[in-house]
Amino acid sequence: MSTVVVTGGAGFIGSHLVRKLIGLGHKVHVIDNLSTGKAERVPSGAVLHIHDIRSPGAHDLIGLLSPSAVIHLAAQADVQQSIREPFDDMDVNIGGTLNMLNACRKGSVEKIIFASTSGVYGNLQKEILTEDDPAMPISFYGLSKLAAEMYIRLYSQLFGLSYGILRFANVYGPGQTAKGEGGVVAIFMDRLFTGRPLGINGDGNQTRDFIYVLDVADAIIAAMKSNENGTYHVSTGTASTVNQLAGHLRALHPKEIPIEYRPEKAGDIRHSCLSNAKIGRTMGWAPVLSFEQGLQETYRSFTPD
């Protein structure tokens, strides 16, 4: 089978993806600077290279390996951090992506798959978003991801590099940490198992489209295999409120769960739900696990044996 490079392969989504790629027989090389990823997460059978995606070392490695595909997951993924440090966010998410694109061009890589975000849309007042809706980010994180997308499309036009841009909904699942890349599910799980109240920003009626990590890994592999260039949502197409998430966790957890409501945070999106019709039509991908099933699996992974 082919050689695949996964940037951010020591992270939450990346480690699940690498395991699946190895299971399919691919030779997998991971590029990760371990700023949020952990070396022990990288499955045996993959080769870990400790490089920053902005570095000459990462650039030259792709030229040396000449993989058939680069799956670019590594990023500065914290919305609040992007607002505190917009230059660093830009440097990693735009500069790092540009370094990887240049390496792909020089290394004759056939295809790049890029992990983008529902955050590119900002607060569009629409019940369910499609890939044709305007991108109007309200955080520097969303803006840097959108700019990186545009670089990828231009690289394709100018240099013929095939690509898949995947705008992820809210990814959750086993192995997600409550810091850095962690979303609300990981944060809530951490609080459950340390006996602290769930902190909800705003009234809790903000909606998210929660997608299980193994479904995301399958979508990435489908995009890697596809002959199509394009931008696709990786989502369930179903909105859940943060209050509903708390309710599901109450049904799973034997102890009382107190909740603390806090002020809203700048840059937080009010409503987010993404149609997955395009990726289903083009690649035949659809999520397998419901939100309740995915939460059960995630809860089980936090429960001591």
**Site of tokens 């890939």:** 131
Residue 90 within a domain: yes
Residue 191 within a domain: yes
For the question of residue 172 being annotated catalytic, the response is no
Name the active-site residue from 121, 141, 212, 232: 141
| Per-residue model confidence as pLDDT tens digits over 230-242 | 999 999 999 999 9
The answer to whether residues 76 and 159 belong to one domain is: yes
In the predicted structure, residue 1 carries a pLDDT above the cut 80: no
Count of domains for the chain: 2
The answer to whether residues 125 and 19 belong to one domain is: yes
Residue 283 within a domain: no
Which whole number is the average pLDDT over 68-73?
98
The answer to whether residues 223 and 248 belong to one domain is: no
Secondary structure element (H or E) that encloses residue 233, with its range: strand 230-234
| Per-residue model confidence as pLDDT tens digits over 169-192 | 999 999 998 875 568 999 999 999
Q: What's residue 145's pLDDT?
A: 98
Q: What's residue 178's pLDDT?
A: 82
Q: What's residue 269's pLDDT?
A: 82
| Per-residue model confidence as pLDDT tens digits over 246-292 | 999 999 998 898 999 999 887 778 888 999 999 999 999 999 999 99
- Rounded-to-integer distance, Cα 119 and Cα 122, Å: 6
In the predicted structure, residue 305 carries a pLDDT above the cut 60: no
The answer to whether residues 37 and 124 belong to one domain is: yes
Q: What percent of the chain has pLDDT over 70?
A: 98
Domain with 53 in it: 3-171+210-237
The answer to whether residues 233 and 255 belong to one domain is: no
Q: Is 266 helix (H, G, I), strand (E, B) or coil?
A: coil
The answer to whether residues 127 and 58 belong to one domain is: yes
- Rounded-to-integer distance, Cα 272 and Cα 210, Å: 10
Q: What's residue 268's pLDDT?
A: 79
Residue 51 within a domain: yes
The answer to whether residues 9 and 62 belong to one domain is: yes
Residue 190 within a domain: yes
Mean pLDDT of the chain: 95
pTM for the structure as a whole: 0.95
Report yes or no: 115 and 76 within 8 Å, Cβ to Cβ. Answer: no
Residue 27 within a domain: yes
Domain CATH for 186: 3.90.25.10
The answer to whether residues 151 and 37 belong to one domain is: yes
- Rounded-to-integer distance, Cα 137 and Cα 143, Å: 5
Domain CATH for 101: 3.40.50.720
**Site of tokens 């000459």:** 56
The answer to whether residues 47 and 177 belong to one domain is: no
The answer to whether residues 215 and 116 belong to one domain is: yes
